Amino acid sequence: MPETTSQPTTDDVRTRIIKTADELFYSRGIQAVGMDEIRTVAEVSLKRLYAEFPGKDKLIVAVLGERHTIWEHGITLAVDAATTPRDKLLAMYDFLESWFSDTGFRGCGFINAFGELGATSSAVSAAAKQHKQSFQESVIPLAADVVPNTALAHELAAQLALLAEGAQTTAAIAGTPKAAIHARRAAATLIDATIAQNRRNDTF
């Protein structure tokens, strides 16, 4: 029988386009990369590219959506590998340190995209805001496992999320993963202080 060559599926092509765009956007900036260059690097026809993504905005949002999925997966793996509720909160910063240590790290893709296009693209602005809000909300149940007081848990989650966000920006500018280490130490102090506050509240 003659050999048959499998043709790439629509999902395969779409994934390749998103991966290519992500690499180019992240390394050089969104506005510096045109659709024609993405087509060339992804090795797809311009017709096929626009069939998958009728406009650059739609491709940018798809790239950010994939980055959100990867972020959530990385955070979940780190948290699940920890044992105690306190360690699960701190594991987020271990994930950040690993990410910051990657030679290709260029900061948070959402912050980068928002900085470039947030003022002119409502879709990019919404995607960035949703990602940041989603992260903070995901920290709340972890914080609640440490301090059962709802108000304290929400406040702690907000503080820990801000530490993580600040670490991303600092690491991108400084070019070193040390920001994650400092953020982890600050997070430990905040967690312990909140636990102590919760105990004091319980005594009254």
- Fold classified for 64-202: Tetracycline Repressor; domain 2 (1.10.357)
Decide if pLDDT at 14 tops 70: yes
Quickly state the pLDDT bin for 188 (edges 50, 70, 90).
very high
**pTM of this prediction exceeds 0.75:** yes
Domain limits, CATH 1.10.10.60, in the chain? 1-54
Q: What is the full DSSP assignment across the chain?
A: ----PPPPPHHHHHHHHHHHHHHHHHHH-STT--HHHHHHHHT--HHHHHHH-SSHHHHHHHHHHHHHHHHHHHHHHHHHH--SHHHHHHHHHHHHHHHHTSTT--S-HHHHHHHHHTTT-HHHHHHHHHHHHHHHHHHHHHHHHH---HHHHHHHHHHHHHHHHHHHHHHHHHTSTHHHHHHHHHHHHHHHHHHHHHHHHHT-
What's the pLDDT tens digit per position in 78-88? 999 999 999 99
pLDDT band at 65 (very low <50, low <70, confident <90, very high): very high
pLDDT in tens, 136-162: 999 999 999 999 999 999 999 999 999
1-54: CATH number: 1.10.10.60
